[in-house]
């Protein structure tokens, strides 16, 4: 793993231009819409247009940011859910109810 020095970190911070103003920005403004998929339209130099539909893979689960702090990867989420599953009592299916 490459070690990042303080000078390198400072240089990264300094790359933001003073004229950029994000004070009116809304964090997560398009979050819900992106979960449902989106369309990318690429206009090529030769005049053709390429349309791509981008959708999350089936079974994708998106964690809210505050949950992601505690469960940073799939393994931690699965371990937590498995421990919860063990707490659910086994219910026998009732026939003819």
Question: What is the per-residue DSSP string for 15-40?
Answer: TS-TT---TT--TTTTHHHHHT-EEE
Give the pLDDT of residue 50. Answer: 94
Summarize pLDDT for 27-65 with one digit per residue, the tens. Answer: 888 877 777 788 999 999 999 999 999 888 888 888 888
Please indicate whether residue 1 or residue 78 has the higher confidence score (pLDDT). Answer: 78
Q: Which of 22-26, 28-32, 65-69, 89-93 has the lowest mean pLDDT?
A: 89-93
pTM: 0.41
Whether residue 93 has pLDDT greater than 60: no
60-to-35, 37, 57 alpha-carbon distances in Å: 9, 12, 6
Whether residue 83 has pLDDT greater than 80: yes
What are the two backbone dihedrals, phi and then psi, of residue 30, each rounded to the nearest 5 degrees? -105, 15
Distance CA 47, CA 43 (A): 7
Closest residue by Cα to residue 77 from 61, 88, 95, 93: 61
Residue 4: both structure tokens together: 């990042």
CA 32 vs. chain centroid, Å, equals 11
Whether residue 75 has pLDDT greater than 80: yes
């Amino acid at each position: 793993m490459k070690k990042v020095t303080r000078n390198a970190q400072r240089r990264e911070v300094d790359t933001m231009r003073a004229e950029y103003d994000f004070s009116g920005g809304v964090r997560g403004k398009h979050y819900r819409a992106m979960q449902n998929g989106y369309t990318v339209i690429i206009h090529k130099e030769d005049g053709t247009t390429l349309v791509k539909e981008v959708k999350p893979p089936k079974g994708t689960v998106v964690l809210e940011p505050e949950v992601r702090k505690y469960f940073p990867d799939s393994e931690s989420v699965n371990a937590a859910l498995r421990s919860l599953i063990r707490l659910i009592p086994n219910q026998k299916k009732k026939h003819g109810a």
